[in-house]
């Protein structure tokens, strides 16, 4: 028994061995974009934050597409990648929008309530998904968290046309609305599983990037 245990430990891969996995590298690239988005949100360069947020989604979707096309990927690679995705998702789609809300609200304590609700909804939704998976094997229960960033970067296009006070209310309401949808019982399709949707997101990402780069140039 001791020999078997020792052999099992020797066969256990190292933690960093999973970093060589291409889908996991995509996930980490998305996390890097998320860190950049958090930074720009805190310092108030919101247009740059929007670019980083949408690229985080793009890398998130790309890792799934690549993983499905890799025939040699082991079960442990898939399991590790799934766990990595869940952890990154709560940072990308829960924590980041919450920090955006707090920063745009100039860290007024009233925004703490909304920030908590957004992060809590993300944690609850991901825990539910980890427990039950897809409904009927094809649809999510509740709005998938990646939609939070996809929708928020679009809503933020209104920011330049409204007063700061008005837009802060819209941003607050949008965050709470998305949180409610995240933990609702609505059934939504897994958009990222369809390659066509991945290409549509790629076009959307480039368009959003172009718009916000243009806005940055006007500052």
When the candidates are 1.20.120.1760, 3.40.50.2300, 1.10.420.10, 3.20.20.70, the CATH number that belongs to 20-218 is 1.20.120.1760
Q: Measured in whole angstroms, how far is the alpha carbon of residue 207 from the centre of its chain?
A: 19
Average pLDDT over residues 92-110: 97
For the cut 80, the answer to whether the pLDDT of residue 68 exceeds it is no
Note the pLDDT tens digit of each residue in 14-67: 888 777 778 888 999 999 999 999 999 999 999 999 999 999 999 999 887 777
Q: Measured between alpha carbons, how far is 195 from 90 in angstroms, rounded to an integer?
A: 24
For the cut 60, the answer to whether the pLDDT of residue 5 exceeds it is no
Half-sphere exposure of 194 (CA within 13 A, CB side): 9
The domain segmentation of the chain, as residue ranges, is 20-218
Query: Rounded to the nearest 5°, which phi and psi values hold at 139?
Result: -125, 150
For the cut 80, the answer to whether the pLDDT of residue 126 exceeds it is yes
Q: Which two tokens stand for residue 210?
A: 């172009």
pTM for the model stands at: 0.89
| Average pLDDT score over the chain | 90
């Amino acid at each position: 028994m001791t020999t078997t245990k020792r052999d099992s430990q020797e066969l256990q891969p190292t933690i960093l061995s999973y970093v060589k996995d291409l889908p996991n590298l995509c996930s980490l690239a998305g996390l890097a974009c998320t860190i950049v988005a958090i930074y720009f949100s805190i310092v108030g360069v919101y247009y740059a934050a929007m670019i980083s947020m949408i690229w985080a989604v793009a890398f998130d979707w790309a890792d799934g597409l690549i993983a499905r096309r890799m025939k040699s990927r082991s079960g442990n690679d898939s399991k590790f990648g799934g766990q990595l995705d869940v952890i990154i998702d709560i940072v990308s789609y829960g924590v980041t929008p919450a920090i955006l809300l707090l920063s745009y609200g100039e860290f007024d304590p009233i925004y703490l309530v909304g920030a908590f609700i957004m992060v809590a909804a993300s944690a609850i939704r991901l825990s539910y998904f980890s427990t039950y998976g897809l409904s009927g094997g094809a649809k999510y229960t509740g709005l998938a968290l990646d939609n939070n960033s996809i929708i928020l970067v679009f809503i933020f296009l209104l920011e330049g046309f409204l007063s700061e006070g008005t837009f802060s209310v819209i941003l607050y309401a949008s965050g709470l609305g998305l949180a409610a949808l995240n933990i609702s019982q609505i059934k939504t399709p897994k958009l990222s599983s369809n390659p066509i949707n991945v290409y549509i997101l790629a076009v959307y990402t480039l368009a959003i990037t172009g718009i916000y780069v243009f806005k940055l140039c006007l500052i």
